[in-house]
Amino acid sequence: MDGMRMTNVLLCGGSGTRLWPLSRTLMPKQFVKFSDDRSLFQQTVLRNQRLCEDQLIVANTEHYFLAIDQLEAIGLPDLKTRYLLEPMGRNTAPAIALAALCLEPDEVMLVTPSDHLIKDEAGYRQAVERAEVLARDGSLVTFGIVPRHAETGFGYIEAEKEKVLSFKEKPDAVTAESYLKAGNYLWNSGMFCFCAGAYLDALRTYAPEIYKASVQAFESANKMDTMIRIHSDAMMAIPEQSIDYAVMEKSDQVKVVPARMGWSDLGSFDALAEEVPSDANQNLILSSRYTALVDVQNLIVVDTPDALLIVQKGSSQKVKAVVSQLKAQGSQLPDVPVTVHRPWGTYTILDESEGYKVKRIVVRPGKRLSLQKHRHRSEHWVVVRGKAWVTCGKACYEVVANTSTYIPIGQTHRLENREATDLVMIEAQVGGYVGEDDIIRIDDDYHRG
């Protein structure tokens, strides 16, 4: 170690409906809390803050506030964090290029997905430390996981010690078996380590269009103190490509660090079932309700307030087809979780019927909703915990716990939490139409339309 800092680049772009209905487009896998109290995103942050001084979180704009919330919840005030916000995903080569452009050329980037499980922290640390040494020497380092079985769901790296011989696509079962037997094939983990400048140089050489478009997107980006927001048009102009395809498979500076670190990508419920305990009949039950299973074996039961999935173990790859079918039907189920995260907190629909809707609204300390009005509904607000600061027309007033207020139809209003604890409110909406899109925003801290 030479004392120069290393930055953890966390890739949070996954839309992750492979673990649907737990994960949704607006609540991707890395932010879901499984059996652990902490999401995979939070676990990744905690793991890497022991190895890196700074972190740069690359996320979709939609998930920015989710990431902020989860980061605040683990409380690391000294960890320097920046956000790089993508309006849409263009795969890893552009994402890592934009991240590299945020850093000094000689800064070492530890690039990690934020939705993987790593159980062996010592093994991980050892691998990262070795990768850092190689990266400071100018190498483009990838991490190869020593395979535990003949997995057909991952790409492989053929290696000779730290030298990469070739990258291999996802193999069929027979080929995977031969890789396992050969002993010098490693799972391609999607983690990387290199100097920012080294990566950009290689990208300029091997994928100049991606490089050029990435530089342009970075230059035109909206840059604030701790947040860089890429514009849609500029992002769209970057060719979509993986870092493996664009750089790693082509450069001769590539090295691999073989590692054992109890790694899993949790890419399906079957992968999850290997990590989370099943019951005596080998059923994996993910449910917060009382669930009784009688004379059934090897089931994965995933129970959420608006969707129930029951899948035979070994068949969880087919969940993708269920999600595709729902999308084709125009259903919101793949996208929207029951508890919706907003920049200011969350809302959860408790009841909905003709002419009314009931929500539980949680506003986080110091946050406020937009100044807004509705054409078709009135709102009754009952504060059940905390204190609300309410703007209603020209009036501004406090609403303490166990009191209520009323927002007439068409009236401009705003809800704010100026306290240090969460505000919890029950909202009963009444009107001829109670859809989420009946909202006219007059002023918004979060610049939404």
Residues near a copy of itself, by CB under 8 A:
287, 289-296, 299, 301, 303, 305-312, 314-316, 318-319, 322, 326, 331, 333, 348, 350-351, 353, 355-356, 358, 360, 378, 380, 382, 384-385, 401-404, 406, 424, 426, 428, 430-431
- Of the two residues 213 and 319, which places its CB atom closer to a copy of itself in the complex? 319
Specify burial of residue 183 (Cβ count, 10 A radius: 0-12, 13-18, 19+).
Answer: exposed
CB of 307 to a copy of itself, least distance (A): 5
Distances (CA, A) of 16 to 57, 139, 403: 17, 31, 41
How many other C-beta atoms lie within 10 A of the C-beta of residue 444?
16
Integer Cα distance of 396 and 416 in angstroms = 11
- Of the two residues 212 and 380, which places its CB atom closer to a copy of itself in the complex? 380
At position 166, the amino acid (one-letter code) is S
- Of the two residues 55 and 417, which places its CB atom closer to a copy of itself in the complex? 417
- Of 292, 226, 10, 262, which is closest to residue 119 (Cα–Cα)? 262
- Of the two residues 213 and 399, which places its CB atom closer to a copy of itself in the complex? 399
CB of 91 to a copy of itself, least distance (A): 28
- Of the two residues 67 and 301, which places its CB atom closer to a copy of itself in the complex? 301
CB of 310 to a copy of itself, least distance (A): 5
Answer for the pair 192, 143: CB distance below 8 angstroms, yes or no. Answer: yes
CB of 40 to a copy of itself, least distance (A): 23
CB of 56 to a copy of itself, least distance (A): 37
CB of 379 to a copy of itself, least distance (A): 10
Copy the structure tokens of residue 353: 């019927």
Integer Cα distance of 188 and 155 in angstroms = 5
- Of the two residues 78 and 402, which places its CB atom closer to a copy of itself in the complex? 402
CB of 305 to a copy of itself, least distance (A): 8
- Of the two residues 245 and 356, which places its CB atom closer to a copy of itself in the complex? 356
CB of 377 to a copy of itself, least distance (A): 9
Specify burial of residue 140 (Cβ count, 10 A radius: 0-12, 13-18, 19+).
Answer: buried
Copy the structure tokens of residue 157: 């790296």
- Of the two residues 205 and 312, which places its CB atom closer to a copy of itself in the complex? 312
Integer Cα distance of 361 and 126 in angstroms = 45
Specify burial of residue 50 (Cβ count, 10 A radius: 0-12, 13-18, 19+).
Answer: exposed
Answer for the pair 371, 411: CB distance below 8 angstroms, yes or no. Answer: no
Integer Cα distance of 69 and 27 in angstroms = 13
- Of the two residues 166 and 331, which places its CB atom closer to a copy of itself in the complex? 331
Query: Number of C-alpha atoms within 13 angstroms, CB side, residue 424?
Result: 6
Integer Cα distance of 413 and 392 in angstroms = 4
- Of 71, 89, 132, 100, which is closest to residue 9 (Cα–Cα)? 100
How big is the CA angle at 245 (ends 194 and 128), to the nearest 5 degrees?
Answer: 25
- Of the two residues 16 and 113, which places its CB atom closer to a copy of itself in the complex? 16
CB of 407 to a copy of itself, least distance (A): 11
CB of 301 to a copy of itself, least distance (A): 7
